[in-house]
């Protein structure tokens, strides 16, 4: 089976699996990350486009947030799918490494992404968490988790471990300070950093405006 056929089958599989999901982790999130990852990969020398695309397509196939906190669920699901369509074993290993390590795990937790393809997919995924779409996704997920929009008595935290981060019950606005506003500084690629600068600026303007309206000064 050609790489093109594997990519087409994988895209169809992910779309069927994730279409219509309402928390912002749906097929269209994957589609945007896929397109952004291709955009970034074209600016990076020596990136394996097949690994990049499969990593982007499968990065959220079993997100730990919907798998009882199991960070390895996605890698297992990706491996099962790719082995089932007879993908190259080396490609499978590289894609599963991306899926297992792509997620943000707390402000105080260092990223573990040691491949160029993984860094490209991680940048693309994080870019979809910031800017205008990132704001919409933050509040969509917050509503799903029944989190308050904002409570001035609940302060943001710098989570020092993944277990602390995944058990957080902070407000949706706190999530900006606990994750989203940190992502610009954790981009890997030149193109990712350029896009992040623009989206981060918009997001900071939004948070400032939110606080003005909250305080009644606007």
CA separation for the pair 64, 162 (Å, rounded): 11
Give me the pLDDT at residue 169, please. 83
CA dihedral (192, 193, 198, 203) in degrees, to 10, reads 90
Give me the pLDDT at residue 70, please. 76
Asked whether the beta carbons of 56 and 123 are under 8 A apart, the reply is no
CA separation for the pair 16, 31 (Å, rounded): 12
**Which carries the bigger pLDDT value, residue 112 or residue 195?**
195
Question: Which of 93-97, 141-145, 184-188 shows the lowest per-residue confidence on average (mean pLDDT)?
Answer: 141-145
Number of helical (H) and strand (E) elements in the chain, helices listed first: 10, 0
pLDDT tens digits, residue range 92-122?
A: 999 999 999 999 888 888 888 999 999 999 9
Asked whether the beta carbons of 98 and 169 are under 8 A apart, the reply is no
pTM: 0.94
Report which DSSP code applies to 82: H
Question: Would you say residue 67 has pLDDT above 60?
Answer: no
* Cα atoms in the 13 Å half-sphere on the side-chain side of 159: 22
Which of 1.10.1050.10, 1.10.3210.50, 1.10.600.10, 2.60.40.10 would CATH assign to domain 3-215? 1.10.3210.50
Tokens read off for 157: 């935290």
**Which carries the bigger pLDDT value, residue 150 or residue 160?**
150
- Segment 58-66 mean pLDDT: 82
Tokens read off for 51: 């690994």
Residue ranges of domains in the chain: 3-215
CA separation for the pair 26, 187 (Å, rounded): 23
Element containing residue 172 per DSSP (H, E) = helix 172-178
Q: Which residue has the tokens 């594997």?
A: 6
* Mean confidence (pLDDT) of the chain: 93
- Segment 17-22 mean pLDDT: 90
């Amino acid at each position: 089976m050609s790489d093109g056929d594997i990519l087409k089958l994988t895209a169809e599989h992910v779309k069927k699996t994730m279409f219509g999901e309402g928390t912002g982790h749906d097929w269209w999130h994957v589609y945007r990350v896929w397109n952004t990852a291709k955009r970034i990969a074209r600016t990076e020398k020596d990136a394996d486009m097949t690994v990049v695309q499969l990593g982007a397509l499968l990065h959220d196939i079993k997100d730990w947030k919907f798998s009882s906190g199991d960070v390895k669920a996605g890698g297992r699901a990706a491996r099962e799918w790719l082995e089932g369509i007879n993908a190259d074993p080396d490609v499978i290993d590289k894609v599963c490494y991306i899926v297992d390590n792509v997620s943000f795990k707390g402000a105080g937790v260092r990223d573990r992404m040691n491949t160029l393809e993984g860094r490209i997919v991680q940048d693309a995924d994080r870019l979809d968490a910031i800017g205008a779409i990132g704001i919409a996704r933050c509040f969509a997920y917050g509503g799903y988790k029944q989190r308050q929009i904002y409570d001035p008595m609940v302060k943001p935290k710098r989570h020092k471990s993944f277990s602390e981060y995944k058990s957080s019950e902070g407000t949706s606005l706190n999530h900006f300070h606990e994750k989203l506003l940190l992502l610009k500084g954790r981009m890997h690629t030149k193109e990712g950093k350029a896009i992040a600068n623009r989206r981060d600026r918009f997001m900071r303007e939004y948070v400032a405006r939110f606080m003005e309206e909250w305080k009644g000064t606007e």
